[in-house]
Structure 1
């Protein structure tokens, strides 16, 4: 006679098998397939794919890659392989060949949209999703990006991280309610949602793209260009965008990134170039309209 395992035991077995598989993954082979080295956040391996080759200008501001041109991929180990999710930054002529190559090699495309308005040249953001062998998926995505001008070269020597930026970071930290960090000449905040996000029952942490991102790029005289995206539920969309507009912050895109997540999430992108502390207060007012984790 065959007996079914109780759900709790089955879940425990799946967790253990997932941990065993994660330990067996040779991440150096994933690095080699992508030509990149990952940063490690818990069990998540995250790869930066910035479009440092592009000079994009919005309203007279030359956009730093860390502000709005930072493509990325993140891998999360699973019981039968890995989950990959990411965001590829492309120019308009690159969209079709990259998409076709992804689809031919078994990588799903879950979203395609803008982040910025009035960008010269225009840039677009293609979200990818895959489940399977991490080395094979990395090779497939790398092959697709070969259809674009995305720079891939030998890993650069680690750069010395700047400790100063021409912004009143203390005022920004106070307004946002947490401490930011300097990255590539941009002051960045990452704000996780209060409640967990899952896909097909699997946790999807902020490192996989489920946290609100707020970026400040100095533009002189205490001003900053701001952009990023708020990660919100359907009921939070209208209160959020009304608050942003009331505070002089332009809403530039509202869209999805994933297909099967719970709760259903929407991503609201924004733009402004003004007094940095003033903009930070407007962003904090917007954060008050959504369910974010507070330390």
Structure 2
């Protein structure tokens, strides 16, 4: 996700995005202040959440919790005296154009725009972004872009998440990794066994950088759950995973890329179902078994 600009324009971006990043130690407190929130820190990655808590979105009669499918994020990973940034912003259709304009004006790249869900009311879209350079300048560009939408720019006070009304121990056993309560949604991050690189940088930790299989369960009562998320797949894994999901009653809702220069080439497959949670977990496990993903 290197910022690509014509040679004549390189000097325009050099000072704000590159030179100053090399000239000083990163002041992460200023980045936090610019983005209006504290990050979740995993290894050397700082991941900032931008939940669309302002939206009321339903799919097939299910009110979607922000953590299920409306949790935008941006992750910063230090590199070459500055940082690599990548993320996923949740937007309404009317917000796409102004946010994209601000991002590109700020020197960031748009790496994908697409849906994750079907039949969402209102429809939601997901804009993936990337870039490299001075973290504070990048943070300012992100803030200005998000200000062109109705994304809340002030983080909500931390509070205890609601209890998960599911047999989480059984879900952990079936999926093969331990999930966590993320705002009332039981969330799994299943890493791939093979490393993923972008612009010569290893995207690790995989979960923080958006390259782990993301599986989310939102309780809908009576042991049922609405599930969505995304599989991270190489080309040869795509159709075996589609077949495994469909044969287990899980709908495939999107298939697309998120990045531009990743190695190996990856595809992201989003899905949806609302049924018995353990049954769906077994279907997800069957699909995971078609991938080069860890099971611990």
Q: Is the TM value for this pair above 0.5?
A: yes
Q: Does 1:118 align with 2:111?
A: no
Q: CA deviation at 1:293?
A: 2.0
Equivalent residues in 2 for 1:51-66, closer than 5 Å? 51-66=52-67
Q: CA deviation at 1:24?
A: 2.3
Equivalent residues in 2 for 1:122-137, closer than 5 Å? 122-137=123-138
Equivalent residues in 2 for 1:1-295, closer than 5 Å? 24-153=25-154, 155-162=155-162, 164-205=163-204, 206=206, 207-295=208-296
In 2, the alpha carbon distance for the partners of 1:156 and 1:96 equals 26
Q: Report the count of equivalent residues.
A: 274
Tell me how large the CA RMSD over aligned residues is: 1.5
Secondary structure in 1 aligned to 2:107? coil
Deviations 1:214-269 (A, max 9, x none): 00000011100000000010010000011100000000000000000100000000
The answer to whether the 8 Å contact 2:186/2:217 transfers is: yes
What does residue 6 of structure 1 align with?
none
The 10-residue stretch of structure 1 (198-207 or 139-148) with the greater mean CA deviation from structure 2: 198-207
Deviations 1:39-88 (A, max 9, x none): 11010000000000000000000000000000000000001310000000
Secondary structure in 2 aligned to 1:225? strand
Structure 2 runs not aligned, ≥5 long: 1-20
What does residue 16 of structure 1 align with?
none
Secondary structure in 2 aligned to 1:208? coil
What does residue 7 of structure 1 align with?
none
In 2, the alpha carbon distance for the partners of 1:157 and 1:95 equals 27
Structure 1 runs not aligned, ≥5 long: 1-19
The 10-residue stretch of structure 1 (84-93 or 197-206) with the greater mean CA deviation from structure 2: 197-206
In 2, the alpha carbon distance for the partners of 1:280 and 1:175 equals 6
Deviations 1:109-149 (A, max 9, x none): 00000000000000000000010000000100110111100
In 2, the alpha carbon distance for the partners of 1:158 and 1:171 equals 28
Q: CA deviation at 1:156?
A: 3.7
Deviations 1:151-206 (A, max 9, x none): 112x44321245x3110112211111111111111000000000100112210121
TM-score computed with the length of structure 1 as normaliser: 0.90
Secondary structure in 1 aligned to 2:231? strand
In 2, the alpha carbon distance for the partners of 1:158 and 1:95 equals 29
The answer to whether the 8 Å contact 2:230/2:271 transfers is: yes
The answer to whether the 8 Å contact 2:25/2:81 transfers is: no
Runs of 4+ in 1 over 6 A off after TM superposition: none
Secondary structure in 1 aligned to 2:188? strand
- Greater Cα radius of gyration, structure 1 or 2: 1
TM-score computed with the length of structure 2 as normaliser: 0.90
